[in-house]
Structure 1
Amino acid sequence: MRCRHAAFTLVELTIALAIAALLTSTAIQTWSRHHERAQRAAVQAALVSTMVEWERQYARTGDSSASASVPNHISGYHLITNPCEDRALVHCVEVVAQPVHPGTGCGSLILRSTGERFTQIGNARQPASRACWP
């Protein structure tokens, strides 16, 4: 009687590892997109919060040059308040979230006190798309 050892062959092991690698790469890509969207949502909430704080200070003091307290807990972004480029400070202020690493697809997220939303990559500013501002 012949004794046969039960084991995996090299081909079977290679196929199993290839399938595991494929599933892992798909999971990492999905997680990465989800993480980016979650971080962008946190930044959008911080932009709105900063804008509300600026408007509250303006309503309380009447001073449009008073800077709002900018939260510094948003990882991956710097938040800055500026007057709008084409309007007087009394009429418009904008909060800009600049990414620390410029690899994000949306670039800087900009919220104006007029309700306008923009994205800016380099010097090109454009109205925000639904992918960047849902």
Structure 2
Amino acid sequence: MTRRTTAFTLLELVIALAIAATLAVFAIPAYRSHIARAHRIDAAAALYRAAQFVESANPDAQRTLPPGLDRAPESGTAVYRLSVLPADATNGGYAIRAAPVDPGPMSDDACGTFVLDATGARTNRGAGGAGGGGEVAADAVDECWNRR
């Protein structure tokens, strides 16, 4: 009676690893891109919720956001912190800023800080964190706010 043993050959193992590595090369960046897009959508939605709160609040009251509205997402680990900016000549009475938490998954994102003002203007400031920088290009702003 002979025993027959079966196993993977080295060639089969190398082929399986090559296929897995190829899938990982394409899947991981796509996954990270999807997660970043989801965080940006959370920030935009949080800005709209905060704007609704500010619009309905007493105009004489100090404009601060209550807990839950001062972050995105509302529950879990904060990825963006929201704050109300004072009125100036161009923002229609207020602006709300969503700055990436540093350190955080979006702290070096190209969209930087999201800003929504009372006139409905949507902009992004500074690439790479809450620190600032200039305005983000208009076509990039469209992508940041998911308008495409």
What TM-score do the two structures reach when normalised by structure 1? 0.79
**Superposition map of 1:58-77 within 5 A:** 61-63=58-60, 65-69=62-66, 70-72=69-71, 74=73, 75-77=78-80
Q: How is 1:1-134 mapped onto 2 (pairs within 5 angstroms)?
A: 6-57=6-57, 61-63=58-60, 65-69=62-66, 70-72=69-71, 74=73, 75-84=78-87, 86-87=88-89, 91-100=92-101, 101=104, 102-121=107-126, 122-126=132-136, 127=138, 129-134=141-146
Unaligned ranges ≥5, structure 2: 127-131
- 2:129 corresponding residue in structure 1: none
CA distance in structure 1 between the aligned counterparts of 2:111 and 2:59, rounded to whole angstroms: 34
Identity of aligned residues (%): 34
Q: Which is higher, the Rg of structure 1 or of structure 2?
A: 1
Larger proportion of strand? 1
SS at match of 2:135: strand
Report SS of the residue matched to 1:97.
Answer: strand
Looking at structure 2, the residues matched to 21 and 109 of structure 1 have their Cα atoms a distance apart, in angstroms, of 36
Decide whether aligned partners of structure 1 residues 32 and 114 sit closer, same or farther in structure 2, where only a CA change above 3 A counts. same
May I ask how many residue pairs the two structures share in their alignment? 128
What is the alpha-carbon root mean square deviation over aligned residues?
2.6
**Scaled by the length of structure 2, what TM-score is found?**
0.72
5+ residue gaps, structure 1: none
